[in-house]
Amino acid sequence: MKSGLLLFFGSLLIASSAFATVWLVLSGNNFFAPSDLTIAQGDTVVWSNIEGTHNVAEVSQPPLFSSGEPAPAPWEYQFVFNVPLGTYDYECELHAPEMAGSVTVEEYTYAPEIKFDENRSIPAAATVGHGFQIAVVAANGDPTLIGFAVSIDDTLGWSEWFEYSVFLIADPTLGLFPEGTVVLSNEGLAAGAHTIYARARDWRTVSPTISRTVTVVDGFRPTMDPGVTGTYDGTEFYPDGSAYHASNADAQMVLHATAQTYYGQINAYRYQESPGPWSDWFSRPTVHLSDLAIGEHTFRFMARDIAGTFSDTVEFSIHLVEQTLTDSIIIVDETRDGTGGAGSPNDEQVDNFYEAMVGSLPHRQIDYATHQIGGASYLSPLDLQNAGLLIYHADDKANFHIGETRGVLAEYMDHRGRVILSGWDLLAPFGIVGVDSASYGDSVEFSSATRFPFHYLRLRYALRSSSTNPRVATGFSGVADFPSVSIDPAKVPASWNGAMDRCWVFQERSDCIVIGTLTVSNPGQNPLEGRTAAHYYYSPNFRVAVFGIPLYFCHQQEAQALFDVLLPTMLALGPFPECAARIDEYMLNQNYPNPFNATTEIVYELPKAGKASLRVFDILGREVATLVNADVTAGSHRVMFDGSELASGVYFYRLQAGNFVATRKMLLLK
């Protein structure tokens, strides 16, 4: 052990530790101290000359110095007295004759103390399997232990000395053991009581022996946790193991196993894609697979402990879905089963309402509250894979779940899905607070980065009841080919006076066909009269109809007439209704898709004709593409950007038209 030394002339410095002493002997032209030393076996003496030269005659046994030509100062020679006990003479001729004396070496009586590391060792009197771990540390925390040995049941049959202090009693043929551990064979370790002995040594002596007795029991085996988790293309699998298929995507499955009940350790894992052979054993509890085909993949997983005992097996199925758009409809009711009275429909009433809306078209119902795995409700790509249309109903303003399903709704729409949203406070789960109906607040636009699937929406106002403006929404007036619908007084409490106290109104957008505009009971006081309360948005990738008033609470015959027009449009069984969208402001939309591979679409809107430029820049501000630089007509415009010649990374696109300038960020991933 090295210790810090303070040098001073004509004196002897002793630096003590629990294990050794370092003696410093200084020599000069006119002094030498000391001439005689008494030290313990294993101590260190350092001779230092600070001036002049020296020539050493070797008269000590064993030699303390090496003879040779005079060497200039300063010089230093260190000698560790790991020698037999006794007295050794030394002298220095010619240049340092005062360097003479003797060193007496006495017996070293200190021995290191050790203990079991309780954080890494089986407990005393534990019941264990045929593989377990013990570890030894210095009792006083001194880190200078240099060797460790273990014996099982026999203090004469010690292992060899090892530099590592963590011992695994295990099957050494398994391999894949952690670095920094020593594996001792468990061969012949029969059931019953066994005493584990341990000792350590520093560089001079051996510690006293410590021991721990445990009971080995047959029949223990590790347990695989059935809760296999994983990701596909960087996103977690849905609870049923489903995900939308992607080209060149990686799947990762995380395994969980334990042998802690009998103080064992997991050594390795393996998997099998059924049917098929088992993989080789691997130590990290993760499985990585690439380019899985569309369809179902069932995997079996197994672990083994350090004794070589196999666990049970668990299965995990992956469903990689390719969206197929058909005329089949899925109706999701995500709200509570109400009392059945006015304002609180039960599940059967809601189901019957939408059964009537879709008529003879193929469909099925999903009750979100009871559609569960492990006690948690979910909606997944596997549920939606053959659906051409999803009708999503929410009518409980106190308990929202659309926030939990926004991920799958977004992915469904990314795969050309069609959605009809009808609910009460549909945007409330996203922290949107409605403004007073008598005031004009800023609009709110949702970006695709929030994973809110309706990022084209711009919420203008959230109509809410107040003491000065109660229950104002009475329905909406149909636009173009869409019929009007009104609140059915029989479906709401009498105190509501045939109106609703919740409604979302939206700002008109290009590519949005207005289905209906809000009607209110007091248009003289309410500036929201005539604003968009229901609209229909379509793109090359998806179609969505959004109703700010829950359709269930409307007259059923009127809602049926609306669905008779809407369903053929949503399912592309008829032409799109003609409806001119009014554009009253400049807008640069988020590109879609984003992130993208090679190509993406950028939509921008101009309220009037004029010069416009749309340019793309890299992260260093260098222009990499000019998409538009010309006179452009008023309206909505779509531009495709091809990044196939560019490297993956972040890019920015900027629209400049008149005094309007806007910049957005996009991510190219190849």
The predicted-structure confidence for 416-443, as pLDDT tens digits, reads as follows 888 998 877 666 665 554 444 333 333 4
CA separation for the pair 333, 609 (Å, rounded): 45
Task: Give tens-digit pLDDT for 197-232.
Answer: 999 988 767 889 999 999 999 999 999 998 899 999
Q: Pick from 122, 124, 129: which is nearest to 305 by CA?
A: 129
Class of domain 329-570: alpha beta
Q: How far apart are CA 419 and CA 457, in angstroms?
A: 14
Delimit the CATH 2.60.40.10 region(s) of the chain: 114-216, 223-321
Task: Please report, for residues 257, 304, 463, the alpha-carbon distance to residue 221 in angstroms, rounded to integers and kept in the order given.
Answer: 11, 8, 62
Helices (H), 389-502: 402-414
- Whole-number pLDDT of residue 587: 84
Residue ranges, comma separated, of all CATH 2.60.40.1930 domains in the chain are: 587-668
- Cα–Cα distance measured from residue 365 to residue 111, given in angstroms and rounded to the nearest whole number: 78
Quote the percentage of the chain above a pLDDT of 90. Answer: 43
Structure tokens at 246: 């992607």
Q: Are 481 and 577 within 8 A, CB to CB?
A: yes
Q: pLDDT tens-digit profile of 20-58? A: 556 667 766 666 667 788 887 777 777 777 776 766 666
pLDDT for the residue 16: 37
Q: Cα 457 to the chain's mean position, in Å?
A: 30
State yes or no: pLDDT of 182 exceeds 50.
yes
Q: Is the preceding peptide bond at 62 cis, omega within 30 degrees of 0? A: yes
- 379-429 pLDDT, tens digit per residue, is 999 999 999 999 999 877 667 777 788 788 888 887 888 899 887 766 666
Parts of the chain belonging to CATH 3.40.50.880: 329-570
Candidate CATH numbers 3.30.460.10, 2.40.50.140, 2.60.40.10, 3.40.50.700; the one for domain 114-216? 2.60.40.10
Task: Report, in this order, helix, strand and coil percent for the chain, each rounded to 5.
Answer: 10, 45, 50
End-to-end CA, the chain: 56
pLDDT in tens, 532-588: 888 777 666 667 888 888 899 999 999 999 999 889 888 875 544 444 445 667 888
- pLDDT above 70 (res 116): yes
Q: What is the CATH number of domain 12-106?
A: 2.60.40.420
Q: Which CATH architecture has domain 223-321?
A: Sandwich (2.60)
Reported for 396-402, long-range contacts at CB under 8 A and 24+ positions apart, including other chains, are 396/335, 396/336, 396/338, 396/424, 397/424, 397/425, 397/428, 397/502, 399/335, 399/336, 400/425, 400/428, 400/429, 401/334, 401/335, 401/368, 401/377, 401/429, 402/334, 402/426, 402/429
Q: What is the mean pLDDT of the chain?
A: 82
Q: Is the pLDDT of residue 130 over 50?
A: yes
Q: How far apart are CA 590 and CA 58, in angstroms?
A: 87
CATH architecture of the domain covering 587-668? Sandwich (2.60)
Look-up of token digits 């066909």: 513
Average pLDDT (511-524) is 80
- Cβ 473 vs Cβ 529: under 8 Å: no
At residue 462 the predicted structure's pLDDT band, cuts being 50, 70 and 90, is low
Please say if the pLDDT value at position 650 is more than 80: yes
pLDDT reported for residue 324:
87
* Mean pLDDT value of segment 477-502: 87
Q: What is the pLDDT of residue 529?
A: 79
CA distance 393 to 512: 21
Per the model's pLDDT, the better-predicted residue between 194 and 87 turns out to be 194
- In DSSP terms, 80 is beta-bridged to 44
pLDDT of residue 638: 81
The reported pLDDT for the residue numbered 453 is: 44
